[in-house]
Amino acid sequence: MNNPEESNLSPEELEARKEEMKVFYDTAVPYLESQLKYEKLLTDVEEARFKRANFQYQWQMLMANTQPAEGEEGQEETPVEKTQAPKGKKLKRM
C-alpha cells in the first residue's frame, strides 16, 4: 500500500528512506532470531509438559481399570479357598 508521505518524496529521498529501512531491519534480525529460538524452545517445553501430563492421565486410567472397585474385594473366593477344608476346631492328640 502506498504511503501518501512516500509519494511526495523525491527519488533521492525515497532511496535514502529505503536504506534507512534496510539498516533498521538488518539490525533487528539478530533480535528476531533470538526471539524465534526462544519461542521454539518454549513450544518444546509446553509440548513435553503436555505429553507428560497425558501419559500420567493414561497411567491413572489404566491403574483404575485394573484395580477392583471398592466393595468387591473379598466377595469372591479364590480357587485355593474353595478347595481347602473349612477351618474348625482341631482335636488334641493324647
What's the pLDDT tens digit per position in 7-66?
Answer: 788 999 999 999 999 999 999 999 999 999 999 999 999 999 999 999 999 999 999 998
Within-domain flag for 50? yes
Domain that holds residue 42: 4-67
Within-domain flag for 54? yes
Within-domain flag for 43? yes
Q: Which three cell numbers stand for residue 15?
A: 532511496
Please state the domain count of the chain: 1
Classify residue 2 by its DSSP letter: -
Within-domain flag for 89? no
Q: How many CA atoms lie within 13 A of 48 on its CB side?
A: 6
Within-domain flag for 9? yes
pTM for the structure as a whole? 0.49
Within-domain flag for 33? yes
